């Protein structure tokens, strides 16, 4: 009985080794990943390719990506930036484009801020003399062009057409303003622009000054 035990132990050990060898042959790369000591340089890529799962560079579950970092419902208003405020705009008057007894000036608003904002509708306008008194009535709002919402990226502009009959042609009483006040739509604070366009009608027949709604760009 004593002499039979080493034989049985040897047979048992060989059986265990055979079982381990069979498992390694049947699962291949799975055995390499489970046993770091037996892994090889070529086994690592096979394990990665055969085992689905997030890569090292993928964000953890629930982490917002660049496309989803903005809270829902705020993307559009953030992109547009809301209404342009007076402090974010610069105003100037472009060159006269006369025709058929009419004087036509583009009144331009430019976004000088670092954000994108919007303008919509008619700006306000008023002519002032050297002492700051208003000359004539406020310009009438023209319906020649329907209002549209204009998105102004930094540095971009919108313009409104300021037109009136030439006083020399219409015979209206005229005055030469020094300043044109321009108030952006839905704002209360005006921008002051030096007026160099000559006389404007302030009373009498055909004395109306008209202003169109804002359009994209700096003029026609």
Average pLDDT over residues 4-15: 45
pLDDT in tens, 84-93: 999 999 999 9
Residues 6+ apart with CB under 8 A from 217: 157, 158, 159
- pLDDT of residue 23 exceeding 80, the answer is no
- pLDDT of residue 26 exceeding 50, the answer is no
Per-domain residue ranges for the chain? Answer: 1-31, 86-216
Between 56 and 165, the higher pLDDT residue:
165
Domain 86-216 in this protein, CATH class: mainly beta
Q: Tell me the C-alpha to C-alpha distance, in Å, between residue 52 and each of 49, 80, 105, 183.
A: 7, 41, 67, 61
Q: Give the β-pairing of 134-135 and 173-175.
A: unpaired
pLDDT the model gives residue 24: 41
Q: Can you give the pTM of this predicted structure?
A: 0.63
What is the dihedral sign for C-alpha 109, 103, 212, 205? Answer: positive
Report the helix count and the strand count for the chain, using DSSP H and E: 5, 14
pLDDT in tens, 33-79: 333 444 433 344 444 444 444 444 444 444 333 222 223 333 334 44
């Amino acid at each position: 009985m004593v002499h039979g035990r080493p034989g049985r132990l040897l047979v048992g050990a060989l059986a265990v080794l055979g079982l381990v060898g069979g498992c390694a042959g049947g699962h291949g790369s799975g055995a390499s990943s489970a046993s770091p000591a037996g892994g090889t340089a070529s086994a690592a890529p096979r394990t990665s390719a055969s085992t689905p799962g997030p890569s090292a560079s993928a964000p953890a579950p629930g982490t917002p990506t660049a496309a989803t970092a903005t809270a829902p419902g705020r993307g559009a208003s953030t992109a547009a930036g809301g209404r342009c405020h007076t402090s974010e705009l610069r105003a100037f008057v472009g060159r006269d484009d006369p025709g058929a007894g009419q004087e036509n000036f583009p009144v331009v608003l430019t976004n000088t801020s670092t954000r994108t904002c919007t303008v919509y509708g008619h700006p306000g306008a008023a002519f002032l003399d050297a002492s700051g008194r208003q000359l004539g009535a406020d310009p009438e709002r023209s319906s020649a062009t329907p209002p549209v919402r204009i998105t102004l990226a930094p540095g971009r502009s919108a313009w409104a057409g300021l037109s009136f009959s030439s006083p020399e042609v219409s015979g209206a009483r005229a005055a030469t303003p020094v300043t044109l006040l321009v108030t952006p739509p839905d704002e209360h604070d005006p921008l002051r622009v030096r007026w160099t366009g000559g006389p404007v009608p302030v009373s009498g027949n055909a004395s109306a000054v008209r202003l169109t709604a804002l359009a994209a760009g700096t003029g026609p």
